[in-house]
Structure 1
Amino acid sequence: MSTVTEAGLLTSREITTGEELGSVPLATPGSVRSAARRAAAAAPAWAATPGAERAAILSRAADLLLERAQEAQDLLVREGGSITGKAFYEVHAGAAELRHGAELATAPAPAHGPGSDPGRDSEVRRLPLGVVGVIVPWNFPLLLGMRSVAPALGLGNSVLLKPDPHTPLSGGRLFAEVLAEAGLPEGVLEVVYGDAEAGAALVEAPGVAMVSFTGSTEVGREIGATAGRLLKRVVLELGGQNAFVVLPDADIEAAASAGSWGSFLHQGQICMAARRHLVHQDVYEAYTDALARHAAALRIGDPYRTDAQIGPVIDRGQLTRIASAVEDAVAQGARLVTGGRVQGRYFPPTVLADVTPKMSVFHTEVFGPVACVTPFADEAEAVELANTSDYGLTAAVYTCDADRGRALAAELRCGVVHVGDQPVHHDPRLPFGGVGASGNSSGFGGEAAREAFTRWHTLTTSTPARSYPF
């Protein structure tokens, strides 16, 4: 949580106690534009820096981040309500993104074939875009920020970063400190702090060539519209109403464990979370009971001072939205198996059974610890149910038969599918991105990052120089 002071500071506060954690300057539209100009001024020299030097800085930043791992973990727990295990993972995943950026800085670009004119030599390269604007959400501020910042820097861009106002320290100030200490030149990373007004200024700033946004579909549509009007490249990673398909041959306890992790990790505040558990009718009741047992056994509390597995929801408004969604689902005929009621700053892991496509909760992303369970009769119906969504981010198929799982996965309309697992998984070397209301396809991971953060440049040379009839 955070507050704004009269002195123009954004003050970060611990989510459970309100204790002050630190303050950063609150950006105005004018200061965002100034930061964009500084980043644009620094971009040419950074692009001209040899890839090996860029890689060395990013690798050093990864080392420094891990040296400050405990501090970073504490910030993630206290600012955003992470449990300690999630925070530990996020810090190390952020370091992995920095190392991935270093790899991109030195890896040879894919070869491009020659032109069709044998008398004209051609050279085709990928060049940095210039200034990449990055807008980061509060749920995984370190990881999701580094996912754009590190490859953008590694490929020779400068970056203008705006963290979410809930997590300005773990999603912004920490980045600047670690990269500056690693030797990143001044101006190559500019961090601005603020709310939607600062974000809009970042998107519209003339010096920003591209925007990488991770957040809600509603805001993503607005950013996409603005970027289209200004002819800027944009990568949008948005919401998800992800399906977790359980086939009848699955080990029910193992499947329920995976489903519980996929739905309730970080209080369900993850775009990849398992929202819709689609379960074969032969194992439907057994799975629902097992999932409810896993949910009810999770420890709820202050993750900084206890060994809680479920921490606080990000703010009061989100608590209200989660509670309202559950109440509406029950009113429409869903069966509340466990959870379902606000407990102070917490919302307990909740299982709703007998959810149908006629209910709003089947289609609307509830960004909280709510698992909806729906039966299906055969695999054709499972595919139909899974694809009955405007979203298309991730999905998972839980089965003991990998070939059967892959065959079903091929029919699911989404960007990423995991067989024999749940939908929450991240690998910096693999492309990641959604379709439909979940985004404009992949912009992260491996060669997808190169495609997102660089552009084609073609040079031809004719020797001798050519002449023409007029």
Structure 2
Amino acid sequence: MKFISLNKSYINGEWTEGLSPRRYDILNPYDHSIITNVSLATSTQLEGAFETAKQVQKEWAKTSAEERRRILLKAAEYLNDNKADIVEMISRENGGSQIKANIEHHLTVEIIEEAANMTDEIYQVREVPSGMEGKINHIHRLPLGVISSISPFNFPMNLSMRTIAPAIALGNTVVHKPDVQVGYTGGIILAAAFEYAGLPKGVFNMILTDLEEIGDGMLDNPIPSLISFTGSTPVGQHIGAIAGKHLKRVALELGGNNPFIVLSDADIDQAVNAAIFGKYIHQGQICMCINRIIVHKDLYETFITKFVERAKSLPYGNPLDPSTVIGPLINDRQLEKVQGIIEEAKQAGVKLALEGERVGNILTPTIFRDVKSSDRIAQTEMFSPVVSIISADSDEEAIEIANDTIYGLSSAIFTSDLEKGERFGLQIDSGMTHINDQTVNDAPNVPFGGSKMSGMGKFGNPWIVEEFTFTKWISVQSKTRQYPF
């Protein structure tokens, strides 16, 4: 299988063996077979990667927009040329179905191609008026410097590249730490693509390691100007606290408790179709996945009957099988955590419409019904094929229930009245709302990000440009100024 031999960190343009005496087995979550064994990088190696990134950043920032664009598109070419191997690795390492793996590959290439459109955003000069006679105000957009990038296990290529590609396009350098569970799809393959593209040494550095080795080294190192993180809200809060102490910028995309709302006038069959996809894509292990389904009381029983029947029929098994929809959760620990939450809900008297079963590392769909918004399971991000269905007495109450959460990432509304849908969409406190679609939508040219405890900052062009650059004001006094003293 391609890429297997590249089981090392990538520092200063070199494939580098980790110096820790500890090693890590990257496993296939479906059958626990070992894909490879990697040596972990140490905190000293991480510090060296930051120093390297700092040393080369100024020179990289001087490269032309055309050169940066050429390199990015060459990296995209590598990913396209090796699509079959990459899709297979996503399924083996990440447990993603063939559908998920192809979606992730496509999104990753799209992100790079959109980043190539950003390369001329730096060094643009804008002139703004001055009330001072003879003063000219120039506003410059400059590279930010070094960016610290931390990505999760669930969509590792896509969620890594949405930081890395714009950062490089805008003249920054990057030190990137993927979740080592998905070291290939979160880091190694990306490094191979940039190596193929001829990216200068040190512009992109990728570290295979864990917290036992580096602690908060990705956060409290004085070199990076921004920390980009996608993952859980508790970890995001920890990062925010450290970044605040050091006055570092952050781009945080965190947890979600995403509502899927079926209003009284919805097309119920299409709503079921959308909800099945938005809940069960990648076993529910996506921050945007549907977590709560809120249905108007007039459609409630019909929706549940149709949704349960569809969920029961979803094929599960080996993600390398093209027919598989439900694959494994990422590891035993995550599966046992979810099973504990399910048992707690059952003990609390929450009613099951469909009880799933554990098959190896797979959990089949589990559906709770008649859930109250105050129930713990309705307030918990499940990150699994578990969903809560809640009845609403009115369309207005459905919106109130949707907002009854500390999170605000994505949401969806089904209705035959598009004007009402958009009006209600504006009332939902989330970064994204989709009318007559499900909650899992992404594109490189939209403002992707949440509200409340779901994060800070926006990804997507042009919003990421503001995040990853520094704006500087230079004034030029062209006429002699008279001072009052």
Give TM-score, length-normalised by structure 1.
Answer: 0.95
More displaced stretch, 24-33 vs 260-269:
24-33
C-alpha distance in 1 between matches for 2:136 and 2:291? 54
In structure 1, what residue type is equivalent to 2:118? Answer: L
SS of structure 1 residue aligned to 2:330: coil
Q: CA-atom RMSD, angstroms?
A: 1.9
C-alpha distance in 1 between matches for 2:478 and 2:103? 56
Summarize deviations over 1:398-442 as a string: whole Å, max 9, x none.
1122111101101000100000101000010000111111112x3
Q: Which residue does 1:296 correspond to in 2?
A: 312
Instruction: Evaluate the alpha carbon distance shift between residue 24 and residue 376 of structure 1 in structure 2; reply closer, same or farther with a 3 A threshold.
Output: same
Q: Which residue does 1:272 correspond to in 2?
A: 288
* Matched-pair contact (CA < 8 Å) for 1:135–1:199: no
C-alpha distance in 2 between matches for 1:308 and 1:289? 23
Q: Which residue does 1:43 correspond to in 2?
A: 57
* Matched-pair contact (CA < 8 Å) for 1:326–1:340: no
> Any runs of at least 4 consecutive aligned residues in structure 1 with deviations exceeding 4 A, and if so which?
4-7, 107-112, 464-470
Q: Which residue does 2:48 correspond to in 1?
A: 34
Stretches of structure 1 that go unaligned for 5 or more consecutive residues are: none
* Matched-pair contact (CA < 8 Å) for 2:264–2:395: no
Q: Which residue does 2:93 correspond to in 1?
A: 79
In structure 2, what residue type is equivalent to 1:388? Answer: D
* Matched-pair contact (CA < 8 Å) for 1:296–1:339: no
Alignment partner of 1:246 out of 262, 266, 283? 262
- Residue pairs, 1:167-206, within 5 angstroms: 167-197=182-212, 198=214, 200-206=216-222
C-alpha distance in 2 between matches for 1:23 and 1:224? 32
Q: Which residue does 1:14 correspond to in 2?
A: 28
Alignment partner of 1:352 out of 368, 389, 395? 368
In structure 2, what residue type is equivalent to 1:453? Answer: F
Alignment partner of 1:447 out of 455, 462, 465? 462
SS of structure 2 residue aligned to 1:460: strand
In structure 1, what residue type is equivalent to 2:104? Answer: E
- Quote how far apart the aligned CAs of 1:364 are: 1.2
* Matched-pair contact (CA < 8 Å) for 1:379–1:408: no
Q: Which residue does 2:104 correspond to in 1?
A: 90
More displaced stretch, 36-45 vs 319-328:
319-328
* Matched-pair contact (CA < 8 Å) for 1:333–1:355: no
C-alpha distance in 2 between matches for 1:150 and 1:116? 40
In structure 2, what residue type is equivalent to 1:136? Answer: S
- Quote how far apart the aligned CAs of 1:22 are: 3.1
- Quote how far apart the aligned CAs of 1:19 are: 3.1
- Residue pairs, 1:35-184, within 5 angstroms: 35-107=49-121, 111=126, 113-184=128-199
C-alpha distance in 2 between matches for 1:265 and 1:339? 19
SS of structure 2 residue aligned to 1:240: coil
- Quote how far apart the aligned CAs of 1:112 are: 5.8
More displaced stretch, 193-202 vs 232-241:
193-202
* Matched-pair contact (CA < 8 Å) for 2:29–2:94: yes
Give TM-score, length-normalised by structure 2.
Answer: 0.93
* Matched-pair contact (CA < 8 Å) for 2:19–2:41: no
Q: Which residue does 1:382 correspond to in 2?
A: 398
- Residue pairs, 1:381-420, within 5 angstroms: 381-420=397-436
In structure 2, what residue type is equivalent to 1:43? Answer: Q
In structure 2, what residue type is equivalent to 1:54? Answer: R
* Matched-pair contact (CA < 8 Å) for 1:291–1:351: no
Q: Which residue does 2:357 correspond to in 1?
A: 341
More displaced stretch, 81-90 vs 98-107:
98-107
Alignment partner of 1:459 out of 461, 474, 483? 474
C-alpha distance in 2 between matches for 1:14 and 1:259? 28
C-alpha distance in 2 between matches for 1:22 and 1:368? 26
In structure 2, what residue type is equivalent to 1:422? Answer: Q
C-alpha distance in 2 between matches for 1:378 and 1:412? 15
Q: Which residue does 1:371 correspond to in 2?
A: 387
Instruction: Evaluate the alpha carbon distance shift between residue 270 and residue 126 of structure 1 in structure 2; reply closer, same or farther with a 3 A threshold.
Output: same
In structure 1, what residue type is equivalent to 2:119? Answer: A
Summarize deviations over 1:374-412 as a string: whole Å, max 9, x none.
010112211110111000001000112211110110100
In structure 1, what residue type is equivalent to 2:141? Answer: R
Count of residues paired in the alignment: 467
Instruction: Evaluate the alpha carbon distance shift between residue 19 and residue 7 of structure 1 in structure 2; reply closer, same or farther with a 3 A threshold.
Output: farther
In structure 1, what residue type is equivalent to 2:201? Answer: E
- Quote how far apart the aligned CAs of 1:305 are: 4.3
Summarize deviations over 1:6-62 as a string: whole Å, max 9, x none.
844433222223333234441222211110010111110111111111011101111
C-alpha distance in 1 between matches for 2:60 and 2:443? 27
In structure 2, what residue type is equivalent to 1:459? Answer: I
* Matched-pair contact (CA < 8 Å) for 2:141–2:469: yes
In structure 1, what residue type is equivalent to 2:368? Answer: L
Q: Which residue does 1:218 correspond to in 2?
A: 234
Alignment partner of 1:235 out of 247, 251, 261? 251
C-alpha distance in 1 between matches for 2:449 and 2:219? 20
C-alpha distance in 1 between matches for 2:197 and 2:177? 20
Identity %: 36
Instruction: Evaluate the alpha carbon distance shift between residue 27 and residue 5 of structure 1 in structure 2; reply closer, same or farther with a 3 A threshold.
Output: closer
C-alpha distance in 1 between matches for 2:174 and 2:300? 48
* Matched-pair contact (CA < 8 Å) for 2:97–2:322: no
C-alpha distance in 2 between matches for 1:110 and 1:452? 18
- Quote how far apart the aligned CAs of 1:209 are: 0.8
In structure 2, what residue type is equivalent to 1:329? Answer: A
